[in-house]
Amino acid sequence: MPDDDDLNGIEALGRALLRGDEGAAAQGGELLERVGRLRERWSEQTQILDRINDSIIAMDLDGYVTSWNHGAERLFGYTAAEVVGRHILFLYADPEDDDPSFQDVFLEHGGREMEVRRRRKSGEVFWASLQLSLVRDAAGDPTAIIGYLTDITERIESQETLRLHARIFEHSDDGILITDAQERIVSVNRAFSRITGYSAEEALGQTPRLLRSGLHGPSFYAEIWRRIEVEGRWQGEIQDQRKTGETYPTWVSISAVKNIDGKITHYFSIFSDITERKRAEERIHYLAYYDALTDLPNRALFYKLVDQALIEARRNREHGALLFIDLNRFKPINDTLGHSVGDRLLQRIGLRLRETLRNEDVVARLGGDEFVVALFDIARRDHAGIVAQKLLAALDPAFVIDDHELTVGAAIGISVYPQDGADTETLLRLADIAMYRAKQTGEDGYAFYSHEMNRRALDRLKIESNLRHAIVRDELLLHYQPKVDIASGRIVGAEALVRWRHPERGMVAPVDFVPVAEETGLIIQISAWVLEAAVRQARAWQDAGLKPIKMAVNLSARDFSAALPERVDRVLAAHGLAPEWLELEITESMLMHSTERVIAMMDALAQRGITLSLDDFGTGYSSLSYLKRFPIDTLKIDRSFVLNIPTDTSDCAIAGAIAGMAKQLGHKVIAEGVETAEQLSFLKCLGCDEFQGYLFSPPVTADAFAAMLAADKRLVPEPGPLV
């Protein structure tokens, strides 16, 4: 800046020149010299000002920029030419800072440092420290304002960062603990106190040993320290203890903090309480491996356990056994009393099975009413049988649930390691096959797996796949067995019985494929074929001029659908056979689900004039009075009662009772499986109307049957002993 002396000197020279004083030329020369010097000094000072990194802005009292140094140019990106003459407000970042009384602001904050936000030419906003000072004239009145600005964005940002870190530290869900190099706690956050129960005051100055539960030995901690030393960090699970004494699992990460010289100054540990997570994990594990109903292992865990046990058994040359348990009589209980009772029954059954066995034996529930037991270290094969007996005996006493006395039993199949198989999968499959055999006896009991069973199981599979083709390949045929009127001894009906002419095995009896067909649903197609073939045959015999007789067709439970009456109508119409010549044999099991729907269907059939007879009567559960609800014409006394007539007195009594009551209810009675003349005489005395059996004829081909009918074959019982 030019000082007063210079200016006064120049002023005096100027005045002298104006006056035209002597030596004006010399004075003019000096004047130029002085101005030159002044210019040099001025440029020197401007350079100094420009070198100052800070930006210096001069304004008039209204805020219009009068001077703008390089620092300001660097800071804002505007050149002096762009700024000088404009109002300072255009550099403000926030319009709300736009203060109309610019001077007041200055007067308020004058001389004080402020932190302000300004905008660069690029639009970018930055933090600056601003200091304002007033320039006054000789009289002391303000003439201008000088503003000094420095960019403090970095400083502000690092302060912000620190504040942010502090906030994160404080509000983190994870507990944070910082110690000095001597492991004394110097800082903890809120979560620390929440998790551990210790306030900051209680924790500061202590060491993290405060949190130890005593569940880990010294070597555990030694290993943690070793890792921190080597890798600078350790992460893992620790069982800690809260102030209350409760222990809890935490997931901890501990790190060492080093200064520039590489010396450890602090340690910090971040930890979270993973009690909930562990619980969830346990729950997931439980759901994956346990049966929620009985708390027993499920199939997946059973496989794991047995796989493991088998490895051990192999090593120790031990024997083992799998027992496949399938409950008897559970399903009807579940169906009639509801799932809540069914579920509780399963729980109690699981408990009894578990209590009957040793701790090292495995019991699992595979689902539904199937349980499975694995025994290891059994000395002999028979021992598995003994255990099976024990299990059956355990199920013997009735279960009392909601005042219901419930009895269940079981069929148990046993496979033995290593004789039958060496892996869980095989052993389980074979035990299942053995169970299936045990089940077929119809009573509670157990069976060991044998190769014979496997062969039969495989046969079943084969039958199933071949049976699918049997219908299209026309391998099915019907045999007919006469139904004979006892009084006249003459044929009054025929029962159509299906046969399968298997290309490799020859004639297959229905017992070997009807159950498979029922399980797989193929029975529906078979029945349709049988009905069609039988009706066609009946019509053909009538057309041939033979005596009209009733044609009986067996139905299976699966055929008993709402569509049945119409299906029958269609077949009868197609062959022009009157409904009175058709008889349908149904079994008791179909009546078991006696819904209104079933009754309505039977009524529909009966109304058409079709005869309904109840096959295998006496083997099911229906009582005679119960039968009143159904439009049944005929009861067929099951062969098992006829077999021991007249020697077995109780069979005789049963047959007698069935016949007597059936008569009273207005049903006709027919006896099946009559093989001897004695049986026939006896049945006649009981009042049976008809009979069927080898005594008269086995089931025969259509031609053979037609021949008997044409010849009017007869069989009159000899007068038998009096009953």
Alpha-carbon dihedral sign for residues 293, 297, 302, 304: positive
Q: C-beta of 482: minimal distance to ligand C2E in Å?
A: 10
Decide whether 415 or 556 has the Cβ nearer to ligand C2E.
556
Q: C-beta of 394: minimal distance to Mg ion in Å?
A: 36
From the number of C-beta atoms within 10 Å of its C-beta (0-12, 13-18, 19+), residue 362 rates as buried
Contact flag: residue 634 with Mg ion (CB under 5 A): no
- 175's contact among Mg ion, ligand C2E, none, with CB below 5 to 8 A by partner kind, is none
Contact flag: residue 554 with Mg ion (CB under 5 A): yes
Span 135-194, contacts to Mg ion by CB under 5 A: none
Q: C-beta of 479: minimal distance to ligand C2E in Å?
A: 7
Q: C-beta of 598: minimal distance to ligand C2E in Å?
A: 17
Site string for ligand C2E, 420-459 (x = CB under 6 A): ----------------------------------------
Decide whether 172 or 644 has the Cβ nearer to ligand C2E.
644
Contact flag: residue 530 with ligand C2E (CB under 6 A): yes
Q: Which residues of 307-336 are buried (b: 16+ CB within 10 A; e: fewer)?
A: eebbeebeeeebbbbbbbbbbbebeebbee
- 556's contact among Mg ion, ligand C2E, none, with CB below 5 to 8 A by partner kind, is ligand C2E
Looking at residue 723, its amino acid is: V
Q: Which of 466, 542, 556, 611 binds ligand C2E (CB under 6 A)?
A: 556
Residue 206, SS3? coil
Q: Which residues of 4-16 are buried (b: 16+ CB within 10 A; e: fewer)?
A: eebeeebeebeeb
- 110's contact among ligand C2E, Mg ion, none, with CB below 5 to 8 A by partner kind, is none
Contact flag: residue 693 with ligand C2E (CB under 6 A): yes
- 656's contact among ligand C2E, Mg ion, none, with CB below 5 to 8 A by partner kind, is none
Span 663-722, contacts to Mg ion by CB under 5 A: 672
Q: C-beta of 591: minimal distance to Mg ion in Å?
A: 15
Q: Which of 420, 444, 615, 689 binds Mg ion (CB under 5 A)?
A: 615
Decide whether 528 or 578 has the Cβ nearer to ligand C2E.
528
Decide whether 509 or 723 has the Cβ nearer to ligand C2E.
509
Contacts of the segment 398-406: beta carbons below 8 A, 24+ positions apart: 399/345, 399/348, 399/349, 401/341, 401/344, 401/345, 401/348, 402/337, 402/341, 404/337, 404/341, 406/333, 406/337, 406/341, 406/345
List, as one string, the DSSP characters of 246-284.
-EEEEEEEEEEEE-TTS-EEEEEEEEEE-HHHHHHHHHH
In 290-440, which residue ranges form alpha helices assigned H by DSSP?
299-316, 330-337, 339-356, 381-395, 424-440
Contact flag: residue 220 with ligand C2E (CB under 6 A): no
Contact flag: residue 583 with ligand C2E (CB under 6 A): no
Span 316-345, contacts to ligand C2E by CB under 6 A: none
CA–CA dist 525, 498 (Å, integer)? 13
- 498's contact among ligand C2E, Mg ion, none, with CB below 5 to 8 A by partner kind, is ligand C2E
CA–CA dist 384, 216 (Å, integer)? 44
Contact flag: residue 497 with ligand C2E (CB under 6 A): yes
Decide whether 243 or 639 has the Cβ nearer to ligand C2E.
639
Q: C-beta of 295: minimal distance to ligand C2E in Å?
A: 43
Decide whether 413 or 693 has the Cβ nearer to ligand C2E.
693
Residue recorded with tokens 């033979």: 546
Beta bridge partners of residue 518, listed in sequence order: none
Looking at residue 691, its amino acid is: F
Q: Which of 240, 583, 616, 689 binds Mg ion (CB under 5 A)?
A: 616
**CB-based contacts of 148: which residues, under 8 Å, 6+ apart?**
54, 55, 56, 130, 131, 132, 133
Contact flag: residue 481 with ligand C2E (CB under 6 A): yes
Identify which range of 54-62, 91-99, 292-300, 610-618 contacts Mg ion by CB under 5 A: 610-618
- List C-alpha distances in Å: 108 to 104, 177, 206: 6, 46, 50
Phi, psi of 511 (to 5 degrees): -60, -25
Q: C-beta of 485: minimal distance to ligand C2E in Å?
A: 16
Q: Which of 151, 615, 689, 690 binds ligand C2E (CB under 6 A)?
A: 615
The rounded Cα 348 to chain-centroid distance in angstroms is 25
Q: Are 430 and 405 spatial neighbours (Cβ–Cβ below 8 Å)? A: no
Q: C-beta of 639: minimal distance to Mg ion in Å?
A: 6
Contact flag: residue 611 with Mg ion (CB under 5 A): no
Degrees to nearest 5, angle at CA 226 with 220 and 230: 150
**Residue of 284, 283, 282, 286 lying closest to 298 (CA atoms):** 286
- 55's contact among ligand C2E, Mg ion, none, with CB below 5 to 8 A by partner kind, is none
- 658's contact among ligand C2E, Mg ion, none, with CB below 5 to 8 A by partner kind, is none
Q: Give how many residues touch ligand C2E by CB under 6 A.
A: 23
- Cβ-based neighbour number of residue 449 at 10 Å: 27
CA–CA dist 691, 680 (Å, integer)? 8
CA–CA dist 4, 255 (Å, integer)? 67
- 510's contact among Mg ion, ligand C2E, none, with CB below 5 to 8 A by partner kind, is ligand C2E
Span 584-603, contacts to ligand C2E by CB under 6 A: 585
Site string for ligand C2E, 498-527 (x = CB under 6 A): x----------xxx--x------------x
Phi, psi of 180 (to 5 degrees): -85, -175
From the number of C-beta atoms within 10 Å of its C-beta (0-12, 13-18, 19+), residue 703 rates as exposed
**Residue of 303, 387, 380, 381 lying closest to 353 (CA atoms):** 387
- 611's contact among ligand C2E, Mg ion, none, with CB below 5 to 8 A by partner kind, is none
Q: Are 62 and 69 spatial neighbours (Cβ–Cβ below 8 Å)? A: no
The rounded Cα 185 to chain-centroid distance in angstroms is 46
Contact flag: residue 466 with Mg ion (CB under 5 A): no
Decide whether 457 or 590 has the Cβ nearer to Mg ion.
590
Span 580-599, contacts to Mg ion by CB under 5 A: 585
CA–CA dist 119, 126 (Å, integer)? 6
The contact set with Mg ion (CB under 5 A) reads: 554, 585, 615-616, 672
The contact set with ligand C2E (CB under 6 A) reads: 481, 497-498, 509-511, 514, 527, 530, 554-556, 585, 615-616, 672-675, 692-694, 699
